[in-house]
Structure 1
Amino acid sequence: MEPEMEKRRGEINTNRDDENWVYDSSVDHKGRVPLRASTGVWKASLFIITIEFSERLSYFGIATNLISYLTQVIHQDIKTAAKNVNFWAGVTTIMPLIGGFLADAYTGRFNMVLFSSLIYIMGLSLLTIAQFIPSLKPCNTKMCLEPRKIHEVVLFIALYFITVGTGGHKPCLQSFGADQFDDDHLEERKKKMSYFNWWNFALCCGLLLGVTVIVYVQDYVSWGVADLILTITMAITIVTFYMGKACYRYRVPEGSPLIPMLQVLVAAIRKRNLPNPSSPALLFEVPKSQKHCQGRLLLHTNRLRFLDKAAIIEEHVSTSYEQKYNPWRLTTLTQVEEVKLILNMIPIWLTSLTFGVCLAQASTFFVKQAATMNLNITDNFKIPPASIYSLGAIAMLISVTVYDKILVPILRKATGNERGINILHRIGFGMIFSVMAMSAAALVERRRLKADEPQSMSVFWLAPQYIILGLGDGFTLVGLQEYFYDQVPDSMRSLGIAFYLSVIGVGSFISSFLIMAVDHVTEKGGRSWFGKDLNSSRLDNFYWLLAAMNGLNLCFYGLLARGYTYKNVERRVVVVTDV
């Protein structure tokens, strides 16, 4: 079970003035201990949330309408276009694993965000150039059946520039924002729990404008004008982000987090024949006098006890310091517990992937469904197909706001838990919505296929599946962000956000694989579920398959969440004394 309040031991006697400083291993922009009143919390995180807004505006403005661009401008068939979109989205959300690792180990989060933002804006600029320079345009006329190959090449180069930019931007920006709150300070810790909710509120605002205003400009004004708007917006928010430099709290990179983990595994294997000690107190840990410089310590847990052997001091080993404290033979208890954290996360990550598969449908097949339906709101106004995505964003905004402002205060009183409910319970609750969303999608698609004139059906028949999925996002996506940030070792928090993003990325890859596998199997049966267009396809059957997969996966997830052991931090208890 998750501790109501993480166990506390060890006291630091300090002067009253020390309450004004932040002792959580962070530094200010000059490398000093940060002053609490002038750094961090909301005044710093608002600068960070601003650039996230513009990044999500750009990403969703491109991603949700990309399948329309590939089919209408590049003239790819729906199956090829869906696979290209899924592959691009998958690579884009896998790349943060590299960016997060480099930031945690070497560059620091602030520097990585700045560098990757410049790469991102280069991609946006290239997209804009490809729409305005005559020799790079798809073709000279407004409509052509064979667009220039050079345009297609430049398009994909630009898209993968954005992929590389996202690889450094996404894992570091969110974790950098969360770093602005001190985990050892009660009020800041509570604000941090709200931070993830309001981060997603800003994300949804960017998404909402991206799939309405930007998509409308793309479809009814010009793709080039839309790309120009995104480029200018990103440039402004990069400058805004840099202006907050003096307000931020920074984490100094500590080198590769993989080496300490490897040391634990090697040391445990070397001492595999030793019996586990009778008490965790006998395991090696850094001296108490070194706690401040070493950061937060982790308390012992009873899972994966084989790894505890890495922290056993061998009495028969040479008494020389180099031999006795060789990091490849003896590691600290905190290092052992950090490895346990990562190993415990793997099953949770695996059972989150089917949710990522469902998310992939919202920007591919859902959008193509919308394109075959009646898009008229009035006689004179027609919405772009991708704008129906905005219903999911609105649902997520409502979900996050209600959860943070209404449910959490009620649940805190009812359960005594600072978060209201455990993180994994929140994620699991959202997964129920994914089953409902895929079921609703199947029913609507079945009705569309049976309609005499599918184009007469209002696009708002798709509202239930988008709204249900958006409500689920407010629980599962936000919960996954908090889980992968909070439960990884402190030195791996950018990688933690990258693990969360990889759920979406791998989900997109799995979606592409499923399309190919199902197409191969059903084609042998006489009729593929994925025809040349939606009217000759059977997407309803595909959605039922996804609903069944998510329902079965939810059962496994429930078993894992029930017995999960959460991160157990040794908090510093500050005892204030007068001078």
Structure 2
Amino acid sequence: MGSSSISGDGEAQLHGTTNSKHGGWITFPFIIATLAGLTLAGGGWLSNLIVYLIDQFHINSIDAAQINNVVCGCTSLFPIVGAIIADSFLGSSAVIWISSVISLLGLLLFLLMATVDGMRPENCQNDSSLCTITPSKTQYAMLYLALTLVAIGLGGSRFTLATMGANQFTRAKHQETYFNWYFFTLYFATVIASTAIVYVEDNVSWAWGFGICIMANVLGLIIFLLGKKYYYYDKPQGSPFTSLAQVIVASFRKKKMVLSSQSPDYYYGDDLQKKIDELPTNSFRLLNKAAVKIEGDILPNGSIAKPWNICTVQQVEDLKTLFRILPLWSSSILLGAPIGIQASLSVLQALAMDRHLGPHFKFPAGSLLVFTLVTTSICLSLFDRFLWPTWKKIFGRNSTPLQRVGIGHVFNVASMVVSALVEKKRRVTVHSHHLQGSVVALSVLWLVPQLVIVGIGEAFHFPGQVALYYQEFPTSLKSSATAMIAMVIGIAFYLSTAVVDLFRRETTWLPNDINNGNLDYMYWVVAVLGVINFGYYLVCARLYEYKNVSYGNQTLTVKN
């Protein structure tokens, strides 16, 4: 994958005390193996969730897709909670193993629902999509409890592992190599879960499928605990968000104060070097007032008398960093929402298409998204080995995260356009053969191009966003930095759910029988929104300036 070999090449750096070495490449096998196990466990239930809801709980197709989007949103929002807990109280390691245990409890509940009569509705004699047997309130409660547990477990561990793994290295080049391997493992394990485990669920039994997920979860947890003596641990420093809130309060209280142009008038804490030769940056200048010293702010020993009255210059600059990056972050929401819409609707399309590949094999609808995952995995490796070195030779410098994300925007829009065209062909085929309400002769392979294109886009924008946030965020918010991309995905899934619900209520495009609807109109709408959002992104990227980030020989800094 990366250009650095995974070996003890001096990267087993010294952290903390001088008596023991922690971190570096020795931790890599434990963290990556943990990621693989937990991803197999999570992907095994999440990839086939829509089919599970329709088949086992007799929920209609659009409602099942909506529930799937809400659950996906939760798995992407919980990392923010996990990151705050990791940064403020427990540390990343504790959050990871606790989340793994919670995930295991949810999977055990799924296994019970698959094996114990009465914990799920009775099976229908006819097509489950037409079934009139509905779950009881108790059965719904058990279902939602299981979904909550597995969503918390998956969300709390996946991106926290990304941060903890990156924190094992001090060199940016090795961190970049780690992120490449992280995403390759994440996608590769999800591919296995979306094919092998989903096949077992569809063709053997749900109980066996959930049993495999449980074994993968247990194995990942054990491997993670075995590596505990090798990890470098960041000590929780209290909530970094409290520190940021203090800047806002202190600057408001001093809003009438005139800013000084003299460095000694600002409070730098223990950073003596900045006292000598550096003033606060000029962006968001009003926040600089929070660091101006007045009588009574500082005690004789140099410490702060009232934290909500004055802050260090570093606290002020940390908040400015968040303000600078928020516009870029917001542009990623409409980048992720179309992907969420496509992911759920593609499964419904697959259920209404010919899924036979040869005389003896029927492609599982829940495995459809494997084409996106495989494409992204392959592209991550090819980009690292060939595209980015070629880019540097042609342009004389490395590509930046913003450039990678921008290219991802273009592929994302292209995928939505292809989705609209394919759905129109599928619908025309239905009508021309008078097969409304039944499976269409059009092959499910027609859906592959749109999934491949969106997979290529993810290989550009997903790692680009994580690298950007990790490298640009303040040190005190490193865990929150990688979780920011998860938060984007979570909000995007909720937005996709809201958009689908809106068009379902206000139009006739999304009936329960999609053969009688107009899904292609839905894809055209999100394609147009993607074009508008891309324009917004270009403006944000043009105005953004990197802060102390090096790419090869290229150093980028924030201007005052």
The TM-score bracket by the shorter chain reads 0.7 to 0.9
Structure 1 residue 195, shift from structure 2 partner: 1.5
Does structure 1 retain, via aligned residues, the 8 Å contact 2:69–2:496? yes
Structure 1 residue 57, shift from structure 2 partner: 2.0
Structure 1 residue 517, shift from structure 2 partner: 1.5
Matched, 1:457 2:442: yes
Of stretches 374-383 and 135-144 in structure 1, the one that deviates more from structure 2 is: 135-144
Residue type of the partner of 1:466? L
1:22-421 equivalences in 2 (<5 Å): 22=13, 27=16, 32-33=17-18, 38-139=21-122, 145=131, 146=133, 148-149=135-136, 150-182=138-170, 188-278=171-261, 283-288=266-271, 300-314=280-294, 320=300, 326-413=306-393, 420-421=398-399
Whole-Å Cα distance in 1 between the matches of residues 92 and 273 of structure 2? 25
Aligned residues: 527
TM-score by length of 2: 0.88
Match of 2:533 in 1: 553
Residue type of the partner of 1:448? R
Matched, 1:490 2:475: yes
Q: Against the structure 1 CA distance between its residues 549 and 318, is the aligned structure 2 distance closer, same or farther, given a 3 Å change threshold?
A: closer
Q: Against the structure 1 CA distance between its residues 277 and 406, is the aligned structure 2 distance closer, same or farther, given a 3 Å change threshold?
A: farther
**Cα shift readout 1:500-520 (whole Å, capped 9, x = no counterpart):** 111111111111111122223
Does structure 2 retain, via aligned residues, the 8 Å contact 1:395–1:467? yes
Match of 2:497 in 1: 512
**Cα shift readout 1:353-412 (whole Å, capped 9, x = no counterpart):** 112212213431111111111111111111111222111111101221122112233344
Structure 1 residue 324, shift from structure 2 partner: 6.7
Residue type of the partner of 1:537? G
Which runs of 5 or more structure 2 residues have no equivalent in the other structure?
1-9, 434-438, 551-560
Q: Which of 510, 514, 522 is matched with 1:530 structurally?
A: 510
**Cα shift readout 1:41-74 (whole Å, capped 9, x = no counterpart):** 3321221122222222232322222111222222
Q: Against the structure 1 CA distance between its residues 179 and 132, is the aligned structure 2 distance closer, same or farther, given a 3 Å change threshold?
A: same
Q: Which stretches of structure 1, 4 residues or longer, exceed 4 Å deviation after superposition?
A: 19-23, 140-144, 279-282, 288-291, 297-300, 315-325, 412-417
Does structure 1 retain, via aligned residues, the 8 Å contact 2:72–2:490? yes
Match of 1:425 in 2: 403
Q: Which of 496, 500, 504 is matched with 2:485 structurally?
A: 500
Residue type of the partner of 2:424? R
Whole-Å Cα distance in 2 between the matches of residues 486 and 124 of structure 1? 35
Structure 1 residue 108, shift from structure 2 partner: 0.6
Matched, 1:475 2:460: yes
Whole-Å Cα distance in 2 between the matches of residues 253 and 92 of structure 1? 23
Whole-Å Cα distance in 2 between the matches of residues 249 and 81 of structure 1? 42
Structure 1 residue 338, shift from structure 2 partner: 0.5
Whole-Å Cα distance in 2 between the matches of residues 140 and 81 of structure 1? 17
Q: Against the structure 1 CA distance between its residues 152 and 421, is the aligned structure 2 distance closer, same or farther, given a 3 Å change threshold?
A: same
Does structure 2 retain, via aligned residues, the 8 Å contact 1:268–1:307? yes
Of stretches 217-226 and 320-329 in structure 1, the one that deviates more from structure 2 is: 320-329
Structure 1 residue 540, shift from structure 2 partner: 0.2
Of stretches 130-139 and 43-52 in structure 1, the one that deviates more from structure 2 is: 130-139
**Cα shift readout 1:390-446 (whole Å, capped 9, x = no counterpart):** 1111110122112211223334455565xx222122111111111001000000000
Secondary structure at the counterpart of residue 45 of structure 1 = helix
The alignment yields a C-alpha RMSD, in angstroms, of 2.7
Match of 1:440 in 2: 418
Q: Against the structure 1 CA distance between its residues 115 and 318, is the aligned structure 2 distance closer, same or farther, given a 3 Å change threshold?
A: closer
TM-score by length of 1: 0.85
Whole-Å Cα distance in 2 between the matches of residues 375 and 394 of structure 1? 19
Q: Against the structure 1 CA distance between its residues 364 and 115, is the aligned structure 2 distance closer, same or farther, given a 3 Å change threshold?
A: same
Whole-Å Cα distance in 2 between the matches of residues 104 and 279 of structure 1? 34
Does structure 2 retain, via aligned residues, the 8 Å contact 1:313–1:324? no
Higher relative contact order (CA 8 A, sep 6+): 1
Which runs of 5 or more structure 1 residues have no equivalent in the other structure?
1-18, 183-187, 292-296, 523-527, 571-579
Secondary structure at the counterpart of residue 328 of structure 1 = coil
Of stretches 258-267 and 101-110 in structure 1, the one that deviates more from structure 2 is: 258-267
Whole-Å Cα distance in 2 between the matches of residues 343 and 167 of structure 1? 25
Secondary structure at the counterpart of residue 57 of structure 2 = coil
Q: Against the structure 1 CA distance between its residues 235 and 428, is the aligned structure 2 distance closer, same or farther, given a 3 Å change threshold?
A: same
Structure 1 residue 231, shift from structure 2 partner: 0.2
Of stretches 432-441 and 449-458 in structure 1, the one that deviates more from structure 2 is: 449-458
Secondary structure at the counterpart of residue 368 of structure 2 = helix
Whole-Å Cα distance in 1 between the matches of residues 229 and 354 of structure 2? 52
